[in-house]
Structure 1
């Protein structure tokens, strides 16, 4: 073999020729073929792969939509209608992109929930978790800017309300709002800025996803038991075991996706967005897309504007420090009997916040939002740190393989008497 060439094991001469000069196939085989993964993954571990597939779909459909979209206030609404009516399969591409945003957030919310329940934010995966939170923030920014682009009534007024929130920041707030608007109101410069950033940010997300996956392949995957593999008997190669399992999840995902696109494409949207934007007519009830509603409820639960903005952004920022708030040596909630139920209560609380965010900001709805906001922050700032000190977890299994063979629960008898393994 010539000097400088990589030693490739692939039989196909074309693949081997490329791999010898740029060992990309060897890397793929190592990271996605023979990569050892815990043998006890459940279907919650499908959602990371589904999120990556969803990201590819959003970028592909977004590129095609951008070819026919006009980023001008007098043309934007009509260009979207033209895509729906005159562009070949434009209706399909737009509905896939529009519902793809909802599917993306559904998948990512479940992915985050899995990380919270099974303790995937704990050492040594703190940076992996924090990169995931960065991806979530970039997703929210991208989705918000994309929602403005159709230039319907809810798009325009949603942009007006949300961008105005930055004016609550002392000293620099008004300057930030002017920078976002590109002027003194939401107008054509705003639409151009949002279109440019909406097109750019998905590629930034791809870069952060690459770092996220790289960090995952260094620390290894967590698993439902929250214990580290102790040898080859606790792991299986990623392929074919989890490629087959991910394929099953992908089929279910595409069935749900297709149902939304072909049967109820506007179910998760707002009818007011099919009315052209009118700065002189304010909608009776301004609401963002459903995936922003929990944080919108937190914003409205605080009577002070600056306080509401700080609480809304703090609801996301608190996830960055979660690995240091929860100091329990046990990762998985399956072995934390008190924390498990309080975590499930927090999950229900999050759904109630989502519901309250879509209701008018008055009467009982505000009271419910305030109570749920209090529990949202109390769970992270009070409950988890306290439980880390007082809760007595169940004994952990000796190994993944032993637990799998015994049904996945904690071992009994002599094994239960051994000290808990540190997370």
Structure 2
């Protein structure tokens, strides 16, 4: 979106003029996150999660690079190298725990970011590309996290790789060759460790590149807001700096405080005890579970127990698991409502909270053993998940009667008082 009232970078000092004329990096920063980028004046703290996800990605990349200097991707010594990092490398325990828990915090803020987008309709036009790139980031995160979970080469790492890659063999004709190609053999071993380690190291930088595209796509239409009403003029916006840099700074402080509490007082709370046992191909754990952020999709995967139309239940589970994410790609075209925010969609809001509850139920079923009543509950929960997007949402978007929208963002903020444009920050 072009903001004709936005201030543009105009360097004053001869040195900054010289730099800007040859490498316009100061201008780029000023227009992207500075006073030259107007944003809606009514953004709440749910708009902090983009910055928090960026901070979590930075933590993962920095700690991951240092850990890679000490890790050995070999089946005979991978587990011992991780223990050596914990015990012999200076502050190695801190790096390892920060990396492991940083992945969990990364997924926490991304899940909150996704559900915020679902609630406020941030996937609707003209922000479809922002949403699609966000789903790509989510998929890349899941691939990176899965391969990272294998690297410690504990019992849960080995058997998680064995079980998850084994589901590819359910795909007719090409499934088994794909599984062998992924593992570099017929079972997880040195080749799998090398493949997973190299891809786990590479993908965070790919994620960083897609994040740049995500932010770029966001700056074209501008940020959504809690009302879902488009920006009408300068009275509806404030400069990103200092108004939202201060707000993001406070959110970042809360995030780092929670992260530090987990890191220093409960670093293993989100992990699995079996992963402190070296990988043993001859000893299967009693209950194989992935990391917590995969639980809802793992429950969908296991919800299929009966063959349909001569297609194995295992294949139905794989298709359903990938379809649960693929639905997010077509979401902008499933919801036909012209109103974005659930604050003005009372019927949609009820079903949104039912979806949140449903995903939590799926997550709980995903960590429980594959036995009754959890399998039956996960079947009902998986059925509702798909029904929400494919049946309920299209119908609700066409039949519900939205509440009256405010005429402008400033009207919703000031409740009828006269709005004035916020002052623009001092230029560099």
1:171-320 superposed matches below 5 A:
171-303=173-305, 304-320=313-329
CA contact (8 A) 1:148 1:194 kept: yes
SS in 2 for 1:87: coil
Matched, 1:22 2:52: no
Does structure 1 retain, via aligned residues, the 8 Å contact 2:9–2:31?
A: no
Distance 1:378 1:111 in 2: 22
1:253 to 1:377, Cα distance in 2 relative to 1, 3 A: same
Contact 1:336 1:392 in 2 (8 A): yes
Partner secondary structure for residue 9 of structure 1? coil
Deviations 1:117-159 (A, max 9, x none): 0000000111110000000000000000000000000000000
SS in 2 for 1:37: strand
> Cα distance 1:8–1:406, how it changes in 2: closer, same or farther (>3 A)?
closer
CA contact under 8 A between 2:348 and 2:397: conserved in structure 1?
no
Asked whether the equivalents of residues 120 and 331 of structure 1 are also in contact (C-alpha less than 8 Å), the reply is: yes
Deviation at 1:32, TM superposition (A): 1.0
Give, in whole Å, the separation in 2 of the partners of 1:98 and 1:12.
45
Question: Which residue of the partner structure matches residue 402 of structure 2?
Answer: 393
Give the Å deviation of 1:170. Answer: 1.2
Q: Over aligned residue pairs, what C-alpha RMSD do you find?
A: 1.3
* Separation in 2, partners of 1:253, 1:404: 27
User: Would you say 1:9 and 2:35 are equivalent positions?
Assistant: no
2:41·2:410 contact (CA, 8 Å) conserved in 1?
Answer: yes
Question: Quick one: higher RCO (CA 8 Å, sep 6+), 1 or 2?
Answer: 2
Q: 2:340 aligns with which of 311, 324, 331?
A: 331
Mark the CA change 1:178 to 1:28 in structure 2 (over 3 Å): closer, same or farther.
Answer: same
Q: Provide closer, same or farther for how the CA distance between residues 396 and 8 of structure 1 changes in structure 2, counting only shifts above 3 A.
A: closer
State the Cα distance separating 1:27 from its structure 2 match.
1.2
- Give the one of 338, 358, 362 matched to 2:367: 358
CA distance in 2, matches of 1:370, 1:182: 34
The CA deviation at 1:15 is 3.7
| Matches of 1:161 and 1:12, distance apart in 2 | 61
How far apart are residue 14 of structure 1 and its match?
Answer: 4.2
Gaps of 5+ in 2: 1-7, 306-312, 418-428
Q: Aligned partners of 2:337 and 2:233: how far apart in 1?
A: 25
Shift of residue 406 of structure 1? Answer: 1.9
CA contact (8 A) 2:78 2:152 kept: yes
| Residue pair 1:73, 1:188 contacting (<8 A) in 2 also | yes
CA distance in structure 2 between the aligned counterparts of 1:264 and 1:390, rounded to whole angstroms = 48
User: Where in structure 2 are the equivalents of 1:399-410 lying within 5 Å?
Assistant: 399-406=408-415
Q: Which residue of 1 aligns with 2:69?
A: 67
Contact 1:164 1:177 in 2 (8 A): yes
**How far apart, in 2, do the equivalents of 1:74 and 1:163 lie?**
21
Aligned partner of 2:382 in structure 1 is 373
Task: Give the secondary structure class of the aligned counterpart of 2:282.
Answer: coil
Match in the other structure for 1:35? 37
**8 Å Cα contact 1:8-1:16 kept in structure 2:** no
Q: Distance in 2 between matches of 1:381 and 1:343?
A: 14
Contact 2:9–2:30 (8 Å) recurs in 1: no
How far apart in 2 are the matches of 1:49 and 1:205? 15
Structure 1 CA distance for aligned equivalents of residues 159 and 9 of structure 2: 58
Give the TM-score normalised by structure 2.
0.92
